[in-house]
Structure 1
Amino acid sequence: MQSFSQQLINQQFINNQWVPSAGTRLLDVMNPYREVRIAQVTAGDAADVDTAVKAAKQAQPAWQALGGSARAKYLDGFADALVAHRDSIITLSATNNGKPLAEAGIDLDDAIACYRYYAGQARALDARQGELVSVEMAGVEARTYHDPVGVVGLIAPWNFPLVTSAWKLAPALAAGCTAVLKPSEVTPLPERVLAEIALEIGLPAGVLNLLNGDGEGIGAPLSHHPDVDKISFTGSNRVGEAVMQAASARTASVSLELGGKSPILVMEDADPGQAADWVMAGIYFNAGQICSATSRLLVHEDVAEALYSALAERMDALTLGDPLAEGTDLGPLTSAKQRDAVQRYLDLAEQEGLTAVRDGKHCTLPEKGYFLAPTLYRDVPVESRLWQEEIFGPVLCGHSVGSEAEAVQLANDSVFGLAATVISGDPERAKRIGRQLKAGSIWYNSEQLVLPETGWGGFKRSGIGRELGPWGLSAYLEVKHVIGPAD
């Protein structure tokens, strides 16, 4: 697999070729640990979008006609290639994103599993075509078919590049759609690998087109394009709302995975040590840059002191440093912009006089890199902006509760509803509490397990639609019924 080469700096991947971009600006791609530029990519524009969409539109009928089983072979090909190039892709991801090698490996494994899963879904789709519908009217036959939406625009975020692009691209291709994929301009290098894999496995031209650029240059014209039948976007609420508005002008379908402010409930019958491990995993993985980060800790007052003590001990043991070094627990935040955004919340915490269990000043940060130390505040008022707003960094806010009912009420008291975790010594109780929470994914007595077989998406302002599972495939399909006289 090629390394990022100078001659491809100002090129886009369209119709299985690297072609000159219509854009004239270049965007710096940074190593967030060393704070140095490692590449530049073009800032594409609307002309690039138009060329890519035309290629995708031309390729779509033949791709659909292949059938699910034939498309599945290409999806398995993506998985096989990711396995074959595993070490180099993990290193590239850690270098561009800043996440430790172990976390980058988890991301890659999740992406591989996603392509494998949707290869199976593509094969199963063939068997579902033409299924008879049970109807009461005598002499009438009705059959169900599942057609691809068409050309789809896929806009991926920077925090989990390979994973989130797989969640979009794999079901879209399985359904028979063709795609224009926009990686984040912050982390474009891991997803550039997908274009190289497309050539490696012989994916038909025009099925996958990859455009580098920012939201203004690529994201907006892709969302507005009249020949784009669906947009799938993961990112901020502000941009998601703009995407939805653009698509609404032509009644195009949208899938939106937006913000989160997820709760983690620790009940009085929980083991504080075990609970602390799950709390840590829910907030400090990927330096807290997770849409599902369980950043609101609702802990029963009977175990609060023991839990905060266990959390402080674990936070003190974390190693911050080089993402490429073995033993690193936390890397830097992915960009200087994101580090500064999180720092503003830490400054606000000081202004509000919040009580810190660990305020980020308890450890020495590496000399370079966009680092922030993990932070924990306790007894945070529910009116605080730190309690209400998505911070997207290694910041945990705790609040004590006196009852299960209070914990559930405060957990649901949010404009977001992406995920939640419940920790209890009684698994049946944990599941019962989970059923009362208004969120798309509920974990109990575990870390955040994201499986290709289970749906992903949220309630309320956390988005529209579901990714993963059969629901992820359905998002790229239209249902058609053919009705007439029975044979």
Structure 2
Amino acid sequence: MSTLEENIAKAEAYLARFRKDGVLNHIAGEAIPAADGTTFDIISPVDLKVLAKVAHGKAADVDRAAQAAKAAFPAWAAMSGDARKKLLHKIADAIVARSEEIAFVECMDTGQSLKFMAKAALRGAENFRFFADRAVEARDGKTLRADGQVNFTSRAPIGPVGVITPWNTPFMLSTWKIAPALAAGCTIVHKPAEFSPLTARLLVEIAEEAGLPKGVWNLVNGLGEDAGKALTEHPAIRAIGFVGESRTGSMIMKQGADTLKRVHFELGGKNPVIVFADADLERAADAAVFMIYSLNGERCTSSSRLLVEENIYDRFTAMVAEKAKRIKVGHPLDPETVVGPLIHPVHEKKVLEYIQIGKAGGATVAAGGTKFEGPGGGCYVSPTLFTGANNQMRIAQEEIFGPVLTAIAFKDEDDALALANDVQYGLTGYLWTSDVTRAFRFTDALEAGMIWVNSENVRHLPTPFGGVKNSGIGRDGGDWSFDFYMETKNVAFATKAHAIQKLGG
């Protein structure tokens, strides 16, 4: 295993190109600056120093990218599913070949620890392989028979699409959106989050080096209010896939309304992990800790509310607190680090403000609750657990998106369900119980798009991914992704003569 010093040296070698040349847009196969020549700086959350200058794309750049995607669409859509399958597997191979570079760059760009980012690139390759294998059958439909009629359904790619990805695990989430779009036959304009754009540049570069035709995949960096708005309003873009905050999703829906854009939103969450007294408490505690403190708590599926049956509440929260206190906070490239620095000083300030809100509201800090003085002086926050909380507190209702867990006691099954559902979000839920009948009852009534019983978030790629209420619209994964990126057509054939009404004769 490499040491921290060795890893930092490797990261600096990988980052040298960005420090020297900046982060360019990528349109119609060309790496180019913004049309007006402007840039913005991105900083590393480790030491707050500038990592690179990034092309500041705006409406003119988005228009150029959208036109490139429109021009490339007919040939890409006409390519056979088998040919797309082979090409997407080549992209996956190339991702694996550069997985270390991707991981190291992502660690320094986002603050996420190498412990998790080392696997993120490989997960991205798995996404490409999964949808590559389904590209062959993406157009397939059904045969539906009626009396005197046979109906054939088929699917076709919707056209150029916009993909807007978040800053928390940008590489993996970009592949999760882009791989099915390409497998379906769509062309793409990708706008990554402005806080962490580096691996998006690597990804499009990898794809074209693997043989992806120019113009099929275009990248425009920029801010939400300029590049993002231009993308969601552009008439050549037929759909927007977005991962991010619920408020931003609402804005995108409004901006895309005039052009009747199809939208797919994976938005925020305030997800409960519900622990009954009959659960395997040690496993439940490990899962709860993993789902809130891994990835710095900066994940939409984090279990940020801990609902515990009252007769085991003190015992269970003490278990969680002890585990939280033992978590190593440190440099993201330290192989032992679990929690690295948060993405940006703006976000660190938000998380620390919520910790103060929790204290002021009367909750007890059972672990953490402070800024952590980590190496480099960056955006470090200690893994935090609040106990003695209630569901009306802001820390129980609002998405903090950091390593902060709020524990609330419940009396019985009905009380647990009421607490779990009493938020504006409904992305995921985690239920721990040994009572099978309770598990069926509870999951049936829990308002969430995805629920894991006696498990942390273990993703199975063919299953649907998405939420209800303010947590999103639509589903990703398996065939559900193709439902978004493709249009369905039905053709009806008469198989015998039938009576046709005669009008005017």
Shorter-chain TM-score: which interval?
over 0.9
Contact conserved, 2:232 with 2:255, CA < 8 A, in 1? Answer: yes
Contact conserved, 1:375 with 1:395, CA < 8 A, in 2? Answer: yes
Corresponding residue number in structure 1 for 2:488: 479
2:414 to 405, 408, 428: 405
Say yes or no: does 1:232 pair with 2:245.
no
SS of residue in 2 equivalent to 1:260: coil
Say yes or no: does 1:437 pair with 2:446.
yes
Shift of 1:21: 1.6
Shift of 1:45: 0.7
Equivalent AA in structure 2 for residue 260 of structure 1: G
Corresponding residue number in structure 2 for 1:21: 34
SS of residue in 2 equivalent to 1:303: helix
- CA separation of 1:6 and 1:98: change in aligned 2, threshold 3 A: closer
Contact conserved, 1:261 with 1:389, CA < 8 A, in 2? Answer: yes
Contact conserved, 2:27 with 2:218, CA < 8 A, in 1? Answer: yes
2:76 to 48, 59, 63: 63
1:352 to 353, 361, 364: 361
Q: Distance in 2 between matches of 1:125 and 1:346?
A: 47
Contact conserved, 1:374 with 1:395, CA < 8 A, in 2? Answer: yes
SS of residue in 1 equivalent to 2:31: strand
Render the CA deviation track for 1:343-384: whole Å, top value 9, x for unaligned: 111121222222121242497644611011011111212111
Contact conserved, 2:46 with 2:375, CA < 8 A, in 1? Answer: no
Corresponding residue number in structure 1 for 2:4: none
1:121 to 109, 115, 134: 134
Equivalent AA in structure 2 for residue 324 of structure 1: L
Corresponding residue number in structure 2 for 1:101: 114
Render the CA deviation track for 1:333-352: whole Å, top value 9, x for unaligned: 01111100111111212222
Corresponding residue number in structure 2 for 1:258: 267
SS of residue in 2 equivalent to 1:249: helix
- CA separation of 1:427 and 1:284: change in aligned 2, threshold 3 A: farther
Say yes or no: does 1:386 pair with 2:407.
no
Say yes or no: does 1:270 pair with 2:283.
no
SS of residue in 2 equivalent to 1:142: strand
Corresponding residue number in structure 2 for 1:133: 144
Render the CA deviation track for 1:71-102: whole Å, top value 9, x for unaligned: 11221122111111111111111111111112
Shift of 1:5: 4.1
Aligned pairs for 1:366-381 (under 5 A) are: 366=375, 368-381=377-390
Equivalent AA in structure 2 for residue 63 of structure 1: W
Contact conserved, 2:362 with 2:389, CA < 8 A, in 1? Answer: no
- CA separation of 1:9 and 1:359: change in aligned 2, threshold 3 A: closer
Shift of 1:427: 4.9
Residue range with higher mean Cα deviation, 193-202 or 228-237: 193-202
2:178 to 169, 172, 177: 169
Q: Distance in 2 between matches of 1:125 and 1:424?
A: 39
Shift of 1:450: 2.2
Render the CA deviation track for 1:99-137: whole Å, top value 9, x for unaligned: 1112102322321111111011111225x25x432122x
Q: Distance in 2 between matches of 1:362 and 1:157?
A: 24
Equivalent AA in structure 2 for residue 283 of structure 1: I
Shift of 1:249: 1.2
Shift of 1:432: 3.8
Aligned pairs for 1:193-232 (under 5 A) are: 193-232=202-241
Corresponding residue number in structure 2 for 1:283: 292
Equivalent AA in structure 2 for residue 419 of structure 1: T
Shift of 1:7: 6.6
1:79 to 80, 89, 92: 92
Residue range with higher mean Cα deviation, 427-436 or 391-400: 427-436
SS of residue in 2 equivalent to 1:330: coil
Q: Distance in 2 between matches of 1:87 and 1:431?
A: 42
Q: Distance in 2 between matches of 1:31 and 1:13?
A: 23
Shift of 1:23: 3.6
Contact conserved, 2:370 with 2:381, CA < 8 A, in 1? Answer: no
Q: Distance in 2 between matches of 1:447 and 1:334?
A: 24
SS of residue in 2 equivalent to 1:471: helix
Equivalent AA in structure 2 for residue 321 of structure 1: G
How large is the RMSD of aligned CA atoms in angstroms?
1.8
Equivalent AA in structure 2 for residue 327 of structure 1: E
SS of residue in 2 equivalent to 1:124: coil
Equivalent AA in structure 1 for residue 265 of structure 2: L
SS of residue in 2 equivalent to 1:357: strand
Shift of 1:10: 6.5
Q: Distance in 1 between matches of 2:376 and 2:120?
A: 27
Corresponding residue number in structure 1 for 2:324: 315
Aligned pairs for 1:416-427 (under 5 A) are: 416-427=425-436
SS of residue in 2 equivalent to 1:302: helix
Aligned residues: 483
Shift of 1:310: 0.9
Q: Distance in 1 between matches of 2:60 and 2:267?
A: 28
Corresponding residue number in structure 2 for 1:42: 55
Equivalent AA in structure 2 for residue 162 of structure 1: F
Give the unaligned 5+ runs of structure 1: none
Contact conserved, 1:365 with 1:373, CA < 8 A, in 2? Answer: no
Corresponding residue number in structure 1 for 2:159: 150
